[in-house]
Each structure stands twice: as C-alpha cells, then as structure tokens.
Amino acid sequence: MRLASVRLDEVDLPLVEPFETSFGVEHQRRFLLVRAETKDGEVGWGECAAAVDPLYSSESVATARWMIVERLIPLLFRLRDPTPEAFSQAAGRFRGHRMAKAALEIALQDLRARTLGRSLSKALGGHRSRIRVGVSVGIQPSVPKLVDRVGRYLEAGYGRVKLKVRPGWDARPVGAVRREYPDLELWVDANQAYPIGAGDRIRAWAEKYGVAQVEQPFAERAVRAHAELARGARFRVCLDESIVDGPSLEDALGARAVTSLNVKVARVGGLGVGISLARHAARNGVPSWVGGMLESGVGRAHNVALASTPPFVLSSDLSASDRYYREDITDPPFVLGPGSTLAVPRGPGIGVEVMERTLRKHRRSSRTFRQ
C-alpha cells in the first residue's frame, strides 16, 4: 500500500436533539475526518471522536488536529509500508493522543480492507451479520420527559436502555423508568460524576431498581473505589474512561474493579488495540461491548465492524443513524432492525460511502497533505 495523500476535514453536524451528560450539553457534534488515498486511487476513511472541549478526556478537536498535522501525518508518510500495525507501532513513541492516533489507524484499516476487496468486519475476524445494540438517553429536563423519551425508544424497537446519571439525577429518574417499564434491561452511566464515598448510595438505588450495569461512576484512576462497588454487587460495574491500554486493564482486572468493559475505539487508540483489550478481558471472564461517541456514519461503521467480532458479547451503544443525526454524511444509513439490531455492512471496507456533497455542506475547513 503506497499512500499518495491524506486529507483532514473539520466538520459540524447538528444533533437531532441536545445530548446532556454529567460533562455538559452538546447541540452539535464537531469532529475531524481523515481521508487517506493510495497512489492507485483507493480511499479509506477515519474519524477522530475528540470533542471541542477536553471534558471526556484530555484531548480536544484542537489538540487532535495539531497532533495529526504536526506529528502523525509526517510519521505516516515516512513509513515504507503504512499498515495499521506499522503505524500504531511507530506512533507509540508519542505519549497519549490516542484519539488522534485512532483517527489515522482506522482510516488505514478501512483502506487496507478496501484494497483487499473485503469488508472491514471480515478483515477484523467478524462473523456476525447483525449486532445487538441499545440506546443511550441523555439527562432530560424533567423525569416525565425522561420516561416519555424512553418510551419512544422502546416503541422504535430498542431493547436495552442506558440512562445518563449524576448526583441529584439518579434514584428518582431511574426509579420512574423502572416503574413504568418493569421488564426493561436498564443500564446507567455516570461518566465519573460521583465522589469516591458514594458507593453505598449508588449500590442502594441500583439494586433497588434492578439496574443491570453501572458504568464509570468514579474518577478514571479510582480503581479501589470501583473494586469496592463491584464486590458482591448484583449488577455489573463497567469501566470506560479508566481503561486506555493494556496496563490499565490489567490493573483493573487484578483489583477486580471491572466486571464489564466498554471499548471505545477513540479512547484506546484504534481497532487493533480495541480487539486486543476485549480478548484479554474475555480470557479473564469479563464481557465487553462497543461504546459510541456520537460518531458520524464513518465512525459508526468502524464501530459496527468492531462489534461484529467474537470478543464483544454485550449489546453495544451503536444506535441507528437517525438517533443522533437527521442528515449524516454517509450512505446507506444504519437502520434499527429486528431484535434491536443493526446490520453489519458487507461492502468493501467500512461498507458505507461518504457523500462528498453533504460533507462539503457541513465542513468548516479542509487541508490536504501529499507525499
């Protein structure tokens, strides 16, 4: 594979509705797209999921853009054989910046699969034609509006719901949803919002209302607090922000602080690392699932391909395209199907095509780099 150029686009996509978490409210999604092209004219796409502000992690659109432009693209152009593995190994010399690295790694994964004429799912070892998915529901203006929103998603066909929670927005809304939908598979996600001493209170309402999974209630480095919460719990304790690489997963497994693993491609630095982490978790009896970060159709296609591989056994947070965007930049859209599932694209690479006309409509800037 010989690269000819890499294009970096900055894009703004309006969300269908505001999405609120303990970090704040997003009304639109700004992100970076990577377009890598070979000298033979084959094209691969990647997406950087870093947000405008460094709230979920220390990365942002601005830091990722700088890292991609000033360090990662020059490094990529120096590689004699720019495979995803060669790039990841070379980029390992730079500390952190996993979201920036992931954007290029997944573009190379798409490019290689297209060059081979294979779907990305098959190239990664995926065997599922459909994947089970759930829906993540942001913090709502009121409890009745939350219950109504959950009801709409259930009517649309979603079989599992995850509620965003934080101190002051937990027991009451969770209880209201449970009373209205007693048989619903219910997860919650706090995005590190709780102080370390809140474990007993979280356990009380989570077990009272039959929550199946509590995700990242404490700070990313609070391994002991998560371990104490997991001890004897009747729900899974899922780690997200805490797990960024092999050593962090090993520490969490050793402390018995993780009983479910959320793998986000952007957070861990790419598809290759994501599969490796999920396999290691599975060997230790911990199930994994793929988390989303409000990606466009490009990032969603990569996530769906990842979720089709054997290590991922729990339903993923990869909702249909219209859950977040009225107008996405890829075609065909992802549509919710029977049994709360999404179809895994079978075309070459990620199996969806970027609509350049729509992309131009929402693009803020574009820059092309050539070998």
- The number of C-alpha atoms within 13 Å of 92 and in the hemisphere containing its C-beta is 9
Token couple for 17 = 């509705």
Whole-angstrom Cα distance, residue 294 to residue 305?
Answer: 16
Strand partners, 14: 28
Per the annotation, the verdict on 39 as an active-site residue is no
Tokens 């890598």 belong to residue: 36
- The residue from 39, 164, 208, 361 that is catalytic is 164
- The number of C-alpha atoms within 13 Å of 145 and in the hemisphere containing its C-beta is 6
- The residue from 39, 101, 208, 264 that is catalytic is 264
Per the annotation, the verdict on 164 as an active-site residue is yes
Whole-angstrom Cα distance, residue 70 to residue 354?
Answer: 26
Task: Kindly list the distances between the CA atom of residue 110 and the CA atoms of 116, 118, 177, 229, 342, in Å, as whole numbers in the listed order.
Answer: 10, 10, 40, 39, 19
> What DSSP string describes 60-99?
-HHHHHHHIIIIIHHHHHH-SS--HHHHHHHHTTS-S-HH
- Residues with active-site annotation: 164, 264
